[in-house]
Amino acid sequence: MTAITISDQEYREFSRFLEAQCGIVLGDSKQYLVRSRLSPLVSRFSTGTLSDLLKQVVTGRNSELKVAAVDAMTTNETLWFRDTYPYTVLAEKLLPELAANKRPIKIWSSASSSGQEPYSIAMVALETQIKKPGMLPMGVQITGTDISTAMLDTCKTGIYDSLALGRGLSLERKRQFFEDAGSGSMRIVEKVRRMVNFRPQNLMSSYALLGKFDIIFCRNVLIYFSPEMKSKVLNQMAASLNPGGYLILGASESLTGLTDKFEMIRCNPGIIYKLK
Ligand SMILES: C[S@@+](CC[C@H](N)C(=O)[O-])C[C@H]1O[C@@H](n2cnc3c(N)ncnc32)[C@H](O)[C@@H]1O
């Protein structure tokens, strides 16, 4: 078997391509990542060698391969109710406050990966409706987007294996919001699935067609982008929020030096951002 190698030039060209396509910055010495994530595409697309595949990707000759290569380079790590505090703040502060506007509350999960984030939001909204009937008379509409079409397919089916189910879900929530799907997998029940509308969205493109939101979850995706790209995304998100809207970042992410469109709100626990 021949060793799969890529030259420094091939790596540089692919890194430039990837950043231009989706904002992901590879940095130095991530050849191993490119090799391990793209090698499976060599046989799938019958490109001969990894070098041939990289050439076809960066020249954009094969658009299906281009999409598959970007998809393969995304990191989709996620879990249910990640970090807990965003969901506590949602239930205790944001939903009660926004319900006073007397219109549907619109929430965007902007890097939804395999769906755990938007479906966790939907479960919180349903729990609120059960605990406080009448508090959300106009309902909650959730949009889940991601650049990865493979991830969006998982989101839409709403079926999760035992490994995914074991990360962040209480027994009570599993019992209430999931049904058996065979072989140890479970499917999100229809009343939760229908609260979320999934669609592809590259955060580098315009968000104008998505409409306006009251809350945007932008969690654990900015970490992959350059500072310039982070600023662009955050300023576009500010323009996608209704007046008084909120932005929720990942636990290790901050707005420092990136945008002046938000004020920081300390929630104890956690920090969220409000549109100025
Ligand atoms: C680590 S996951 C975060 C999932 C979830 N927000 C969470 O915090 O658990 C990052 C997601 O960002 C998506 N992503 C990466 N670049 C993107 C881009 N330019 N536009 C939209 N989504 C992107 C990836 O496909 C991946 O599903």
Taking the C-alpha atoms of residue 49 and residue 42, their distance in angstroms, rounded to an integer, is 6
Q: Is residue 120 part of a domain?
A: yes
Q: Is residue 262 part of a domain?
A: yes
- Of 48, 73, 98, the residue at which a domain comes to its end is 73
Asked if residue 120 has its Cβ within 6 Å of ligand 1, the reply is no
Q: Which of 24, 123, 3, 1 shows the shortest CA–CA distance to 73?
A: 24
108, 221, 234, best to mutate for ligand 1 pocket (most atoms within 8 Å of CB): 221
CB 116 within 8 A of CB 80: yes
**The CATH number of the domain where 93 resides is what?**
3.40.50.150
Structure tokens at 209: 């067609």
Question: What value does the mean pLDDT take over residues 34-56?
Answer: 94
Closest ligand 1 atom number to CA of residue 203:
20
Using the mean position of ligand 1's atoms as its centre, give its distance from the Cα of residue 112 in Å: 6
90 and 47 inside one domain: no
Closest ligand 1 atom number to CA of residue 109:
6
92 and 220 inside one domain: yes
Q: pLDDT for 224-262, tens place per residue?
A: 999 999 999 999 999 999 999 999 999 999 999 999 999
The count of structural domains within the chain is 2
Which range of residues forms the domain containing residue 59? 8-73
Query: Is residue 108 classed as helix, strand or coil in its secondary structure?
Result: strand
Asked if residue 172 has its Cβ within 6 Å of ligand 1, the reply is no
98 and 19 inside one domain: no
The alpha carbon torsion through 131, 213, 115, 85 (nearest 10 deg) reads -60
Asked if residue 65 has its Cβ within 6 Å of ligand 1, the reply is no
Q: pLDDT for 187-206, tens place per residue?
A: 999 999 999 999 999 999 99
Closest ligand 1 atom number to CA of residue 202:
20
200 and 264 inside one domain: yes
Q: Is residue 183 part of a domain?
A: no
95 and 223 inside one domain: yes
Q: Is residue 178 part of a domain?
A: no
Question: What value does the mean pLDDT take over residues 92-98?
Answer: 96
Q: Is residue 171 part of a domain?
A: no
Closest ligand 1 atom number to CA of residue 201:
21
Structure tokens at 59: 């020249």
109, 113, 196, best to mutate for ligand 1 pocket (most atoms within 8 Å of CB): 113
Range with lowest mean pLDDT among 52-66, 80-94, 157-171? 52-66
Mode of pairing for the β-strands spanning 241-249 and 271-275: antiparallel
44 and 137 inside one domain: no
Using the mean position of ligand 1's atoms as its centre, give its distance from the Cα of residue 74 in Å: 7
114 and 238 inside one domain: yes
Closest ligand 1 atom number to CA of residue 77:
1
- Model confidence, pTM: 0.96
